[in-house]
Structure 1
Amino acid sequence: MLTIPSLPLPAQGIAQQACMLADRAARCAVMLLCPEGTILSWNAGAERLYGYAAGDVIGRHVSILHGDGQDRRKSLDALHAARMNGLHRADAWNRRRDGSLIWTGCSLLPLAGEGRPAGFFARLAVDLTPYRRFEEQTATGRWRWNPHTDNVAVSRRFVHMLGMGDRLPGRARDWLDLVHGDDRRALRRAAARAWSGETAAPVCADLRLRSGDGQYRWFRLRAQWQRVGMTGPHLLHGSGIDVHEARLAQEESEQLTCALQACAGSMRRDRSEAAIGRVLMDMFEDVRALQETQATLAVERERAHITLRLLTDSVIISDANGNIEYLNPAAERMTGWPLDEARGIAVSSVLQLHAPHESAHADMLAECLGAAGAATTFRHCMLRSRFGREFAVDVSTAPMQDPAGRLLGTVLALHDVSPMHALLQTLAHQASHDSLTGLLNRREFETRLQSALDYVRDGSGNAALIYLDLDQFKIVNDTCGHAAGDALLQQLARAYRGVLRERDAFARLGGDEFALVVDRCSAAEAARVADKLLEATEGFRFDYCGRVFRIGASIGVVPITARATSVEQLMRLADHACYLAKENGRHRVHVHGDKDAAMTRRLKDMHWVGRLNDALRGDSLELFYQPIAAVNQQGGLLHYEILLRLKDRDGSRIGPADFLPAAERFDLMPAIDRWVLKRVLDWLEGEPEHVDRLEMATINLSRRTLADESFQQYALTCLDNSSVPADKLCFEITENGAIADPARTIRFIETLKDRGCRFSLDDFGAGMTSFSYLKLLPVDFIKIDGSFVTMMAESAVDHEMVRFANEISHVMGRRTIAEYVSDASIYERLRELRIDYAQGNWIGAPRPLEARMWQ
């Protein structure tokens, strides 16, 4: 072994391993490579195979041996594959020093150093060129004829065998012109018999075809009619091999036989020594040719035997009865059976094949061993060796037949695809599982949920969907970071799996949301499973850097019934049920039932949410106004409240009592209030004469809008960009909204009052704290709750409530508005109490703002 001292050599243990490999494989090309692919050592077998002396290649990159244009990057990829998989095998063209190409079988083996991880590699190469040449020489040409289009398709191999260029005949009649005239009638007769169904056997005929040089050569053609699909056309599929030399030898043998027969007859008439000499000479020449043929066959047999031994694929040859005749070394290693023990044993006893998710594939073996047609390939099979080890293999089979078509045996080739199978399994797992927790991901979970729905629809049983959302999970992320949140989810997923059945489909849908499909389970049983998950959550403690966290969970349970329309509907119902569990106090289970009023209300709200979102993007929202009249004076400027309506699909209008609760619950009110403010200002800006007659237009603001810090800046921007005076606007806020955050509400009011806007406090008197907050809020108007106004004519208590609210408001410098004025008697009582303004249908019903029907 030669080395260059200037190069870094591996540890002594690695060098010894490389020497042992070289000594034991003296007939193979063995070299030692550093982690980057530089050649460190070079044995005599490598010198013989590649023609390089050791001093010519040591220190150079192994890519100098590649003969098919591979670059250094592909060499590094092969080294990486060997490092990852423990071994990397590949067959490829290599280039010798003289420039000639050799077909080599190469193996890369990582070598573990003493006290260090694997880094160096042994590369072993053997010459497979004889096998490659043998394969090329025995290749078969293929062709196919479509009688409906008269089109003939021919393989490249057949074109090469015929010696033809790129211009090929396209129609069957043109190909028929290439057939020797003496052979055409027999060809037509055989094809007609096959077409008429007289025989199921393939058409087989020896005939002469005109090659590219104009000469005729003998070919053996086999063809058979095959239908495309169940109803497709019949196509004639065929193959052809060159038998010209064999046919000529047969003709020469027949001529010699005829000569011998003629000579025998002439010897009866003329016992001439010259005639006998000629016959003996002819016989001698024929025997010598036969001996040469036998010697050639012996050489080819030896080459084929060597090739079979060098093949990395397993090759098994059986006789016509399905018994083992031959196993190559690769087949011995894979099956665990030595050839001496396996010979004569049934293939089914040695070759234990099965599909990954099915029982033993005995039918496949029977088909392999009894096949009388073309070669067949079975993919995605599993082979169990004699000692229980399993390999993923692709099995290719081909029958061996005599010229009469009788089965002589079968050749089976097994290609080991275990690394690819393992990679596909890994990729399939990654595609269907959450990378953080190892649970199913959303896509795979929805597939399992669809299977459960199909199972229930078939009447096979019952099932339920459980949807879980963690409570207080955001606290962990905000205080300790997302790494802590990820660790919590991983630990919690393991805790959940400990209380669930193995067959239950449990998934992380994303973030802190989980879902579970439990089959063969009633709604009550599913609720008990949900309770177990709740208990597991309650008992879970997350310790992160000395800080201990407790979390909760809100869980929704939805029975899976045949009435469910889709997976999407089930997921939506489960999400709603989980939301209701949160809305009812968190850390609880909500089971959806047929008479679930809370679910019905939430689904109705979600319906309105969708319609309101569409309305905000379109033109379905419409502004109305309702007059507010001064009680003790006539005429004056216009004063009204802006109201909102939703246009229905049939042209009718929907009142705010139907859709505003949903907008409040799902936080759409800030967007709606912005829309109203912008539309009112735009409309007023287009009506300058109306603005001159206007005292005040009141716009309602919701509780959520008051809590929205960005709305104040939005309102100021709208006022700055509008020509409408700010004192023409009055913002009406509810008592409940105002007292939710009094300090923020007061800042909001004072900021907009500085611009000139006015404010009204709605529903005054409905809450117990109304009077205590009245002196804190700098509003201009007090709107007395309509429940008192409506009954003040019949109830002395309500009458006194209205009187007291009016007097205390006047004391504090606020003007009062009585709403829900429905008749003249109520109006007269308001006038007697000196209420400032009145509003109600008796004063004026709501009308479209665009109508301009002003009182």
Structure 2
Amino acid sequence: MTTNTLSPAHNIFAAVRPALLLGLFCFIASLFCLALMAIDNHLSPIWYASAIMTAVIFRRRGQQMTLLLLACMVGTLCANLAVFGPRWPLFSFVFINSLQSLLGGYLLRILLKPKTALDSLSSWWKMVVAASLLAPLASGIMALCWAHFSGGAPSLRFFSTWVLSEVIGTLALLPLCLLWQPRYLRLQARQGQFMVTLITLAASLLLCFVALRFLPWPFTFVMVILFWVAVRLPRLDAFLVFFANVSLISLLLALHLIDLRAVSLAFTLTAPWLPLLLILIPSHIMTMVMHAFREEKKHIRASEEINRRLMERITLANEAGGIGVWEWDVIRNEMNWDRRMFAIYELAPSVEPTYPFWLSRLLPEDRPLAQEAVRRALEDNIPFSLECRINTRHGLRYIRTQAESLRNADGQIARLLGINQDITELRLLTEALYREKEQMLITLDAIGEAVISTDEEMRVTFMNPVAEEMSGWTQEQAAGKPLGDILRITHGVYGPQIENILRCALPGVVTDPDSDLVLHNAAGEHFAVEYSLTPLKTQSGKNIGNVMVMQDVSESREMLKRLHYSASHDTLTRLPNRASFEHQLKRLLLSASERQQQHVLAFIDLDRFKAVNDSAGHAAGDALLIEVAELMRHRLRSNDFLARLGGDEFGLLLTDCEMNAARQVVQSIVTAINDYRFLWESKLHRIGASAGLTSVNRDNCQSSEVLAQADLACYHAKHNGRGQLSVYETRLQRAPQAELSPEEQARIIDTPPRWQAWAVSTPNKTQSANFHLLQPRLINAQGHETDVADFRATLQDETLRLMLDQRLIESFFALYAPGIARKGLNVVLPLAVESQLNTAWQKTLFSHLDASTLRDDSLIISLETRMLLQHSEALHSVLLRLRQQGCRILLRDFGRNLEAFEQIPHEQIDFIQLAPDLTANVHFNLMDEMLVSIIQGQAQRLHITTVAGPVDLSMTLATLAGIGIDAAWGEAVNGCEPLSILLENGFFAIK
């Protein structure tokens, strides 16, 4: 006897094989869908992957479902990567598709039975509503929200394309996935149906291709072809053919092989794939109806063969339409009812129906109407038609009764032959539609936008109250008038009027807010507006009117103006800021170069301002700057440009001005500031001003050059005693500083550095330190401290730079690492990226880490953001090894480049330290505050901790805390102290 036992590897392959096949199918389907983006290059116009994952969730349970779903997601993601390359938004789209599939799959679990998923038209409708409507709408909203929060510019077209692609893909593929069985092809081949299906599939594809390419009204012919398929093939075979034809049609649309010139341009641009819905839905319904027909036919065949044809028609008519047939012999007063009549009136078949009995079943208030209808039918020969009500076990029912009179040979009415139909659902639907219409009108009255409906000739047919208020016209006054007569829209408040509203904003396109459209109403008021015009079309494509939605954007436009002002002006003094100054300087340099104009640039620096700021406080300093700015502004010409460059420094551009005239203007400003007395809290303060001037002409039109000349002239004025002005001359050039020799540089490197530590704390909890930022300082030959970054920039020899980094690492690990480990501190160690690229230096660093007693997570490595982005690939393995050693990574000097979030390896980054210029003015600069808020939101989404500093003012710290910055450092948090003193303090020392 032998035993055939499968190996564990074979068992694993048997379990994983379905997932691999399904993942491959998802990859091919997604790749096909992504290839269809020829018409709309933002999103795929048809999407199959969500339908596959929805079917997996509906049909599978437990670990098998998880494995199959993961395979589908991997296949979809691989297809996206193959088309678009590695981009992190692809993960978001795949995740949203997965959420949509989870929602659709679990809704199908609630609504449908697994073994009879699509056994009726009702179950098909449940599938359409749950998986093809609700789930795509939910995913479309999620995608719209994601695009908004990720910094994109979401639109209605993005949302409609997303939802439409999911709806079409789900309708095309989900029924096939729900009905598919593993041995279906083998069963079809055994029953001889396989060849029929293949022939029908080939014929339908060929006919559809011919219709779409060469026949007029091609989608009408396609619908006829698919109807033929629905009638000819069983349910699953028909859905398979539909899927193949939809894929073919979408391919032809993407390749522009279908002529859509007869369709409106707006339709071609926004929804060229919409005809797929118009052919899919009727074809599906026909298939389900034919399936129900075939099932009913099988049931009828089991009855007696002699009555088969007659009973088939009667049963189908009664069951499908809910119709009961009755006959009344008036002469003999005999009445016959069919089975459906007894069911409608909830009577047993043994009851003998009569005319009085029928009247007794009606509600008392409906009996007189019934008797009058019978009398007119018998006496006046008027067709019998009546709507009446009856009471049943299920409540009140509405019955429609119709009959025709049949005469005998003598011409007398002998019989009435009629039908009864339960129209309760139709009546309730009519009432519901009426209620929905009322709710729609109430909603239109309640929404905040103005809504105006017009006919096809742009005459007003409806206005909601907001439209009445904004236009100054009531609906009764505006009814029938051209839209242009009641809406006066101009470019700007005093600009020209728009002659044609349709030309200003194409249907379905919202106007650009920069166009500054203003609506003037009949009462003389005006509103900043945006509007859209959407055509109303019938199913046949006929335009029956337009809907205009108009929004009052006065507040948002005012906010944009304030933001623009904040970006170009200093918040404190209301003068233009440095950015505006540099822009104006570029314009003057261009005019000096091209038109040979003469201008003057002046730097004005306040003297003794720091003394006022230190003695009287920052509030006094701010008030002094405001008063000085106003004092200077009154002494300028109309075309002069004064800006605050920062702190107590001001820049002045004198346009089209000779140097002598400029000297007089600047001298008057300097004299006025020197004579100015500032009174604060009963104490008098005296300041002064020093100014430097330089010419801007065709021989001197380089921005960096004129700025350096003005700065040098201002320095010379201060050096000569302050309170005066100086004009740039060549002799003022500073003598270049003597460069250090390599021996002197090496001597400084060999001198042990001094390490300083800044405590980093949560902004609202500055009493405790989360960790410490370390800053090494070098000692030069005169005993003065030198910043390491500045000294490193002077080193031309790469060997000296590596020696410097080597010395800093050895000093840290030999002198301070044991004390840090003993006290259990968390510290940030700054390293140069250039050294990280050196293999020998890497070995040195990791040998120190291996030998150190520091706790795994106590050391945070700080790297410069700009250098990391330049060498991200080369540093990938170094970062991985550092994290394996337990080190955390901090990126310092993270600036205004938000695209860095997409470029940094965020899964390996724990902290980002904002650049100092981002936080210096965040407490009064709205643009900086908004940018820091965006960075904080992006970092929080990526689970990265944000660090800001140096923070010297308490108001800056409060602003950062309000934004949600995780940690801060600086004088306002906790001062700097030598690392040696920090390690010597007691464990519980409190500052």
> Could you state the TM-score of these two structures normalised by the residue count of structure 2?
0.36
Question: Structure 1 or 2: larger strand share?
Answer: 1
Question: Structure 1 or 2: larger helix share?
Answer: 2
> Could you state the TM-score of these two structures normalised by the residue count of structure 1?
0.41
